[in-house]
Amino acid sequence: MTTDRMPRDKGSEVHGIFEKIAGYYDRMNFVMTLGRHEKWCREVAARVAPAAGGQLLDLATGTGVIALEAARRYPASAVTGVDFSEEMLSRAMAKPGADAIRWQRADAACLPFENESFDGITEGYLLRNVEDLAGVLREQYRVLKPGGRIVILETCPPSGLLKPIMGWGVRVVVPLLGQLVARDRSSYTYLESSTLAFKSPQHIADMLSGLGFRDIGWRKKFFGTNVILWATKPK
């Protein structure tokens, strides 16, 4: 594993949470999404579809679910998994298939890569954790090659008719599960508040468009509580 520029400020708070929850992150994810998270990660990996032999970057790789799926799906591609949490990365590196991936500790706000290094970028649950959303997306645009695609898995603030019920579910159920499954209510209270306060898919799509991305689309999941977005950097 290589290490590069490390986080400060809001990053430090988020970093501390993920260092703390790394040991039960996969279990909590399974319970909170009723086992759907792995399926969404498979869809993210399928949608990024790099050219054969391409370079793939999985940002906020965490315990490596998307990176491992991408390495399995595209054996001719080189996959790099980046995260700023050492604890999360160490869980990823202990999983079967991890040797096929280059793991790197770095902050998504300041990526240690040359311009136009990657044919595709994936990320799961990064954006609502960052302070400078536009800056983090701009970094991704910078390191993506023209013609490359970015695929984002994120939580989604509830909207529409189901908003009151889903809002209640996120506010009450998520911290409760944190308490019951992980004995850690406070970290999952952060998940609840960051989800409810986060931007809509339309807002993220507008930001991507403003940065120059094209062919932007998204699909909501799990009663609108999660979303997969995709976009392409024009040639």
Ligand X SMILES: C[S@@+](CC[C@H](N)C(=O)[O-])C[C@H]1O[C@@H](n2cnc3c(N)ncnc32)[C@H](O)[C@@H]1O
Decide: is 84 part of the binding site for ligand X (CB under 6 A). Answer: yes
Taking the complex as a whole, how short is the minimal distance between the CB of residue 220 and ligand X, in angstroms? 16
Q: Is 4 annotated as a binding residue?
A: no
C-alpha angle with apex 19: 93 to 124, nearest 5 degrees?
A: 65
Taking the complex as a whole, how short is the minimal distance between the CB of residue 41 and ligand X, in angstroms? 6
Decide: is 43 part of the binding site for ligand X (CB under 6 A). Answer: no
- Report which DSSP code applies to 200: P
Query: Which residue among 85, 187, 195, 226 contacts ligand X (CB under 6 A)?
Result: 85
Q: Is 152 in contact with 47 (CB distance < 8 Å)?
A: no
**Cβ proximity to ligand X, 66 vs 143, nearer residue:** 66
What are the helix (H) ranges across 64-184?
65-73, 86-93, 133-143, 163-168, 174-182
Size of the site for ligand X (CB under 6 A): 23
Taking the complex as a whole, how short is the minimal distance between the CB of residue 48 and ligand X, in angstroms? 13
Question: x-or-dash pattern for ligand X, window 108-147, by CB under 6 A?
Answer: xx--------------xxx--xx-----------------
Decide: is 213 part of the binding site for ligand X (CB under 6 A). Answer: no
Q: Is 107 annotated as a binding residue?
A: yes
- Chain centroid, CA 17 distance in Å: 15
Q: Enumerate residues 6+ apart whose C-beta is below 8 A from 207.
A: 133, 134, 137, 199
Taking the complex as a whole, how short is the minimal distance between the CB of residue 118 and ligand X, in angstroms? 15
Query: Which residue among 43, 69, 83, 192 contacts ligand X (CB under 6 A)?
Result: 83
Site for ligand X in 150-179 (CB under 6 A): 153
What b/e readout covers 189-207, taking b as 16+ CB neighbours within 10 angstroms? ebbbebbbebbebeebbeb
SS3 111: coil
Which residues are 118's β-sheet partners?
A: 144
Q: How far is CA 162 from CA 88, 196, 213, 224, in A?
A: 33, 14, 31, 9
Q: Is 215 annotated as a binding residue?
A: no
Q: Which residues bind ligand X (CB under 6 A)?
A: 7, 11, 14, 18, 29, 60-62, 65-66, 83-85, 88, 107-109, 124-126, 129-130, 153
